Structure 1
Amino acid sequence: MERKPLDSLISKNGLWVSRNGRLHGIKSCEASHKNLRITMDCGEVVKVRNSRSSRAARSLRNRKFQKPCKRCRVPEEKIKEFSRKISKNEVKVSVRTVPSSQFNSYENKIPDMALPSENTLHEPVKPVQASTPAVSAKQTQKQTKTAAAKTFVPQPRTKKPKVKKSGNHSFQKPAKASKPQFTQSQKNRILSLLGPGEMISFSKEKRSFAELESVLSTERKKDIRQMYEDSRENLLGKLERTITEFFVDMGFLEVKSPILIPFEYMERMGVGEDKKLSEQIFRVGDNMCLRPMLAPGLYNHLRKFDNVLPDPVRIFEIGPCYRKESDGSSHLEEFTMLNFCQMGSRCTREELEFIIDEFLNFLDIDYEIVADSCMVYGETMDVMHKNLELSSAVVGPIPMDMDWGVDKPWIGAGFGLERLLKVKHDFKNIKRAARSESYYNGICTTL
């Protein structure tokens, strides 16, 4: 007999056998990556792993139970049908993954989802019949040659008059001095030497590449010496210290999670090897990877601090992440993330927007919030500065929380520190704000 997973058996029978042998009717069944949450007709709720060899799977497969649950009121015909060796019933329960847009708390009921209608009727295409008999290719070519021979009339050739060129060049205008032409590599070099806020028009520039490079290099040397005299603080490190002070004062606990994590964590986040997003992950060996996000570490800390710290639990982390997405002026393969999270009471959209507003006003950055969605979290709130996304924020719970042992409401948001620096200092390219050997505080160091 084929050993079907637990969700398939539930979908087939529409019944559940508890540990004490009671046979229950199933009201709804919700699935995440590895777990199931089953609500009985009597109101009892259980959470189990979607296993092929569990006690529940064996009971449903072998159709063994002691007696039906009185409160579920399972119909007698359904009990007799379940007791038979081969069931002929159709699917009784639809097991589905619940999107976060319809999932506000684990105790809420999940509304029924209507199946889309399928239009399977198509008009057959009738072949078009030719009204005249087909003519062979040889016969057509023969008729064409005969017609051409009758209509062709040779024409006499005419000579074109020769135009004599004047040998006197005394009236030609002298050539103007040409403007300096810049190759693409020269343009890139000049752009890298520009300071924050500086601009240049290559079409109007009169200086040669060598002159322009020399002037800009001299200016950048002065800027670096001035930074050394003024502060000697790296902008990225300074921003990280400033953000840490802000969130500690807000009552958040700072945590530090490993950068090298098991790839199984990404599977729990819904980014398995069969997903397109998995191509962005830097793999290390067969089972490990560099973290592309801070969420796995925050999930583990929330679970461990629950019932230890006072309600609500508030934590944050700032650290490096890695993704294979370096194209464009707003993406990096190595970048720094801030993630803050609150679990327990007051986990509402209003509270999340209040924290974001306090944080960005503290940094003096204008923003707006727009609705969006993503593969991992479902519905999100994107924090935008003009056309640049600064953050993606979420109001939980969401279905994947089960796989992390988290069963309380939560709110959270993630910000890219390099993008915050790009906005604050008007950097044209995010690489000026990143960990780099080519730039220091947005100033080119290749001089």
Structure 2
Amino acid sequence: MDRPNLERLVKLNGVWLSRKDVLHGVSKYDVSRMNIRITTDCGEVITARNSRNSASARSLRNSKYKKVCKKCRLSEERIQRFVSKNFHENITFVEPAAKTSAPKKVGKKDTARPVPVPPAFTQSAAVQSATVPSAVPSAVPSATVPSTAAQSVTVPSAVQPAVQISNQTAKSALNQNAAVNASGNQNMESNSESKPSKKSFSPSQLSRLESLLVSDDEFDLEKTDMDFAKLESVLVARRKQELCDMYENSREHMLAKLERDISAFLISKGFTEIKSSILIPEEYIIRMGIDRDEELSKQIFRTDDNMCLRPMLAPVLYNYLARFDKILPDPVKIFEIGPCYRKESDGSSHLEEFTMVNFCQMGEGSTRENLVKLLDEFLTYLGIDYRIEGDECMVYGATVDVMHGDMELSSAVVGPVPMDIDWGVSKPWIGAGFGLERLLKARHKFKNIKRGSRSEFYYNGIYTKL
């Protein structure tokens, strides 16, 4: 029969055996990916590895207690359950309710709407309605011909003039209608000639013009009547002048300046800046809940079997929180700004090399209200419009998403979360991470995130191959 792991042993027995063989009651326990955190009835907190072969599991399966904790006040039933070692008795497991995320609000997009189609209006119908004036009789009374009458029928003279007049009037109406149609066609031709012809560009020309355009330009490539050479010349001249103005006045790269501005803001709010290695052990990624068979694992750049380029800043921040908590006064507030790497899909809002800022606070004041307040102060300081939404992610579960239009700027979190146990963190915390290139894209209304990234082609949003 399989040996139960530590979680099952605690669940079946409801007790904990200390290293000194003192039997405690278990008031609650939390399970993460690798560990279990147990709170005893007397208030002691123990973290142990949740496995079948750990020393704690072996102790619960095989050892005998020497004494019972007086503060826990264990009942005789719980003691006897531990003594009997009946680990495989059927019990009812209560699964936690599945988390449901709030529906993600998406900004309004241009969507195709059904357009009512007018009834068919054919040319023949138009001609029919226009060729017969109301004053002209539509028909001539026909003569009644008896069966014995001759084969030739003589039309009374009184009727013949009416027939001739009717035919002449119809012919006149047809001629007038033809003249009207011809005149209308001429008018349509003259109107089409009077409108400026829209210029069409080849794919390579369109790509070149789009790279030269910036958000302040007012050119509409779908409506402009300027040819490619003229439009390219105008845009190149503008970009050269803007680069000269930057060189003359600031010489600051917008990404580097944003890093400095964010650092100054967070330090003013009491956060301590840290710098950590870009290379991290892959074990950190697994501890964040991303195994090799997970979809997110495919986005990681691995340098060898044990190391990888960091896809996020959170693992090292976790380590700092656990270590600083033993040294620094409560609350602990830290942040880091630095490059991260992911094998992202192509798109106007994704990069494989991007810059993150991640700030977190642990301990006193780590509430959702304070997190939202800090997010508001941060984005107001940067001059970026936003809205808050609820969502859920694989790593942290429920999140507080910060949106700018349809683009996600951040997934902020209110801890604790189950994985805290694996990092030695036991206090409430709040944290948020932002991609700096996305902040620049939102602030400067870039259509493509590459304009604000580390790049050899763009400087402060301006294409440099001029």
TM-score (norm 1): 0.75
Aligned with residue 256 of structure 1, among 268, 275, 278: 275
Distance, in Å, in 1 between the alignment partners of 2:280 and 2:85 is 46
Alignment correspondent of 1:7: 7
**Are the aligned partners of 1:11 and 1:93 in contact in 2 as well (CA < 8 Å)?**
no
Alignment correspondent of 2:59: 59
Relative distance call for 1:255 and 1:41 in structure 2 (3 A) is closer
- Alpha-carbon distance, 1:371 to partner: 1.7
- Alpha-carbon distance, 1:98 to partner: 10
**Are the aligned partners of 1:371 and 1:382 in contact in 2 as well (CA < 8 Å)?**
yes
SS at match of 2:29: strand
Relative distance call for 1:46 and 1:380 in structure 2 (3 A) is same
Alignment correspondent of 1:406: 425
SS at match of 1:399: coil
Alignment correspondent of 2:33: 33
Alignment correspondent of 2:172: none
Question: Which structure has the greater CA radius of gyration?
Answer: 2
Alignment correspondent of 1:335: 354
**Are the aligned partners of 1:29 and 1:93 in contact in 2 as well (CA < 8 Å)?**
no
**Which 10-residue stretch deviates more, 395-404 or 305-314?**
305-314
Alignment correspondent of 2:139: none
- Alpha-carbon distance, 1:224 to partner: 1.3
TM-score (norm 2): 0.72
**Which 10-residue stretch deviates more, 62-71 or 369-378?**
62-71
Relative distance call for 1:15 and 1:342 in structure 2 (3 A) is closer
Aligned with residue 377 of structure 1, among 384, 388, 396: 396
Relative distance call for 1:316 and 1:67 in structure 2 (3 A) is closer
Relative distance call for 1:203 and 1:409 in structure 2 (3 A) is closer
Relative distance call for 1:379 and 1:232 in structure 2 (3 A) is same
What's the Cα RMSD here?
3.1
Matched letter for residue 217 of structure 2: E
Alignment correspondent of 1:306: 325
Matched letter for residue 398 of structure 2: E
Relative distance call for 1:263 and 1:320 in structure 2 (3 A) is same
Aligned with residue 258 of structure 2, among 239, 246, 255: 239
Distance, in Å, in 2 between the alignment partners of 1:313 and 1:87 is 42
Distance, in Å, in 2 between the alignment partners of 1:98 and 1:17 is 32
Per-residue Cα deviation, 1:291-336 (whole angstroms, up to 9, x for no partner): 1111112111122222322322211111111111242211111111
Which segments of 5 or more consecutive residues in structure 1 lack a partner in the other structure? 102-172
Matched, 1:359 2:384: no
**Are the aligned partners of 2:13 and 2:81 in contact in 1 as well (CA < 8 Å)?**
no
**Are the aligned partners of 2:48 and 2:56 in contact in 1 as well (CA < 8 Å)?**
no
Which segments of 5 or more consecutive residues in structure 2 lack a partner in the other structure? 102-188
Alignment correspondent of 2:443: 424
- Alpha-carbon distance, 1:212 to partner: 2.9
Count, aligned residues: 376
Alignment correspondent of 1:141: none
Distance, in Å, in 2 between the alignment partners of 1:423 and 1:48 is 45
Percentage identity across paired residues of the two chains? 58
Relative distance call for 1:279 and 1:319 in structure 2 (3 A) is same
SS at match of 2:419: helix
- Alpha-carbon distance, 1:358 to partner: 1.8
Distance, in Å, in 2 between the alignment partners of 1:281 and 1:4 is 34
Distance, in Å, in 2 between the alignment partners of 1:206 and 1:83 is 90
Relative distance call for 1:417 and 1:199 in structure 2 (3 A) is same
Alignment correspondent of 2:216: 197
Relative distance call for 1:340 and 1:188 in structure 2 (3 A) is same
Relative distance call for 1:232 and 1:274 in structure 2 (3 A) is same
Give the helix-richer structure, 1 or 2. 2
